[in-house]
Amino acid sequence: MSRKNLALCCKIFTLPMDYAYIKDNYEKWVEGTPKEQYNQLKEIWLLYPMLIPLNEYKELIVKDIIYYHYTCKHLIKNRCSIQDNKPEMCKIFSKDNCKKVYPSCESNCFKGNE
Ligand code: SF4
Ligand code: SF4
């Protein structure tokens, strides 16, 4: 099996927030800013530390929403190194989404072969 087509959803994915915004959100959480004073991103304590921005990729615009590209520092040898503690957005990534967005991924993790 080709090694380059494994774990594609962890190697490159998009979020509708830029890195500066996510960093600022994380710093507010670290400072203990009350939740009412900002739009605290879901699981920001997991989200910001895992992200590596891929600035070489141009932003995507879908239905007027700008998406930015990222990879994840927890991806080690094509496997998630924090399986039990990964964020909800990774846990709920559905089979349908997977095959629509990453049709060429060969991980077949839904067959227990990730
Ligand atoms: S098969 Fe889908 S969910 Fe599994 S690693 Fe590849 S893109 Fe991700
Ligand atoms: S936390 Fe794990 S499952 Fe989520 S993007 Fe990173 S390596 Fe992939």
pLDDT score, position 114: 44
C-beta 86 within 6 A of ligand 2: yes
**pLDDT tens-place string over residues 12-49:** 999 999 999 999 999 999 999 999 999 999 999 999 99
The secondary structure element, H or E, covering residue 10 is helix 8-11
d(CA 63, CA 113): 35
* Terminal Cα-to-Cα distance of the chain (whole angstroms): 13
Mutation to probe ligand 2, out of 74, 79, 93, 105 (largest number of atoms < 8 A from CB): 74
pLDDT score, position 15: 97
Query: Residue 97 in contact with residue 52, Cβ under 8 Å?
Result: no
Mean model confidence pLDDT for the chain? 92
Q: Which of 30-34, 48-52, 68-72, 101-105 has the lowest mean pLDDT?
A: 101-105
Q: What residue segments make up the domains of the chain, in order of their start? A: 3-106
Q: Which atom of ligand 1 is nearest to the CA of 105?
A: 6
If one counts every other C-beta atom within 10 angstroms of the C-beta of residue 68, the result is: 22
Residue 29 CA from chain centroid, whole number: 19
